[in-house]
Amino acid sequence: MLRGFDRLFALLATSLSVQAVLADEQDVERWGLNMPRGVTEVAQTTYQLHMLIFWICVAIGALVFGIMFYSMWRHRKSKGYKAAQFHESTAVELIWTIIPTVILILMAIPATKTLYDIYDTEEADLNILITGYQWKWKYEYRGSEVSFFSNLSTPKAEIDNLQPKGVNYLLEVDEPLVVPIKKKIRFLITANDVIHAWWVPDLAVKQDAIPGFINQSWTRIEEPGIYRGQCAELCGKDHGFMPIVVKAVPQAEYDTWLTSRAADAVKLKELTAKTFTFDELFAQGEKVYSRTCAACHQPNGQGVPGVFPAIAGSKIATGPLTGHMNIVIDGSEVNPAMQAFGEQLSEVDLAAVITYQRNAFGNEMGDTVQPVDILNFKNKQ
């Protein structure tokens, strides 16, 4: 995470208050019946195609069911209707083979055209590498230093029905993907562990994120706004909890944002050299833990028997520091579900979360890990 402490607090505070206001001002759009019209040309064409096929189906259905219901009404034994005995007619069979074929060909023409548009990923203004992880997205802006993870920001208490649910329940993240409007953006989509799928309905972009493959997709957003989506491919336990938020802003705003993010990255590197107090590390570690570790190891550190090991009283968390750093930074050699967090978290966050794990849940090891220790450990490898 490319983020300092101050920034984190500010962000958290503002996002919470903004959320509370939003919940009052706007209500959820309920009873949604249809595909969104979308905010890109491709999305709108897809919507029109969808409606065209839909109405053709409705017309055919009305005709066939109409004849059927008429017959069920008129041709009943209880009304004394005598059955005709006609059957077999090659002419009729040919008619109801040829007419549907013609209709299908007429459908295929616009569908083929739209498909060519979707596949035209050439000449992009901006390339963004999207990587699916269990259960978060990583965004890397090609040609710049900026890269970050985007996690679900809905509090666990809302999911567990302990707090009222906010208006963007399950569709909100700690850091949205920020993109400029009116620019052709190419998404390069892959995954780190299992297959995910990156889907934002308003952009009509859905592409599987597959380990070992880099898929391509593109968009060109016409209007500024916030567009929300979700992972669309079953990817394990928290498949339902890895949303996507795209924030489309004018070019100037985007440029400012990108510069400040790049500066943040530099600032965070400087923080690595700083020595933190135990309390600072513990407090930050708790936040990192709940964001990154709690999904599997559980908020109380007890894990899930047989699936996810407990942190509380674990051999690693109460054992030598090197072993603990090793599994957090490089992941587990035997269980792929334990990812390598060395590249996912900053040195500060790694130091904080390891300190937290060694001192929370009754582990009481009393030791502190500093960012520089993490850096030294990484450099030794």
What residues from 148 to 177 belong to the interface with another protein (CB under 8 A)? Answer: 158-161, 165, 167-171
Interatomic CA distance for residues 268 and 52, integer angstroms: 52
Which uninterrupted H or E stretch holds 91? helix 90-119
Residue in 227, 210, 218 with CA at minimum distance from that of residue 116: 218
The 10 Å Cβ neighbour count of residue 243 is 25
The 10 Å Cβ neighbour count of residue 346 is 20
Interatomic CA distance for residues 41 and 43, integer angstroms: 5
Nearest distance, CB of residue 12 and another protein, angstroms: 22
- The answer to the question of residue 77 lying near another protein (CB under 8 A) is yes
- The answer to the question of residue 309 lying near another protein (CB under 8 A) is no
Q: Which of 8, 35, 258, 310 binds another protein (CB under 8 A)?
A: 35
The window from 66-74, 265-273, 340-348, 349-357 that contacts another protein (CB under 8 A) reads 66-74
- The answer to the question of residue 61 lying near another protein (CB under 8 A) is yes
CB proximity list for 193: less than 8 A, separation 6 or greater: 132, 133, 134, 211, 235, 336, 339
- The answer to the question of residue 24 lying near another protein (CB under 8 A) is no
What is the size of the binding site for another protein (CB under 8 A)?
101
- The answer to the question of residue 199 lying near another protein (CB under 8 A) is yes
Contact 186, 120 (CB under 8 A): no
Residue 272 or 332: which CB sits closer to another protein? 332
Footprint of another protein on residues 123-142 (CB under 8 A)? 134
Q: Which of 6, 21, 24, 97 binds another protein (CB under 8 A)?
A: 97
Residue 86 or 366: which CB sits closer to another protein? 86
Nearest distance, CB of residue 175 and another protein, angstroms: 19
- The answer to the question of residue 338 lying near another protein (CB under 8 A) is no
| Single-letter amino acid code for the residue at 187 | F
The window from 112-120, 253-261, 285-293, 345-353 that contacts another protein (CB under 8 A) reads 112-120
- The answer to the question of residue 185 lying near another protein (CB under 8 A) is no
Interatomic CA distance for residues 130 and 137, integer angstroms: 7
The window from 251-259, 282-290, 300-308, 342-350 that contacts another protein (CB under 8 A) reads 300-308
Q: 147 has which bridge partners?
A: 140
Calculate the dihedral angle through the C-alpha atoms of 314, 316, 317, 321, rounding to the nearest 10 degrees.
Answer: 160
Omega prior to 137 cis, within 30 of 0 = no
Contact 170, 152 (CB under 8 A): yes
Interatomic CA distance for residues 374 and 330, integer angstroms: 12
Q: Which of 234, 263, 266, 340 binds another protein (CB under 8 A)?
A: 234
The residue behind tokens 């949205």 is 176
The window from 4-12, 212-220, 276-284, 314-322 that contacts another protein (CB under 8 A) reads 212-220
Nearest distance, CB of residue 334 and another protein, angstroms: 11
The 10 Å Cβ neighbour count of residue 283 is 15
The 10 Å Cβ neighbour count of residue 230 is 18
The window from 137-145, 205-213, 315-323, 343-351 that contacts another protein (CB under 8 A) reads 205-213
Contact 153, 250 (CB under 8 A): no
Footprint of another protein on residues 251-280 (CB under 8 A)? none
Q: Which of 21, 31, 277, 380 binds another protein (CB under 8 A)?
A: 31
- The answer to the question of residue 111 lying near another protein (CB under 8 A) is yes
Residue 169 or 282: which CB sits closer to another protein? 169
Nearest distance, CB of residue 353 and another protein, angstroms: 23
The window from 12-20, 61-69, 279-287, 318-326 that contacts another protein (CB under 8 A) reads 61-69
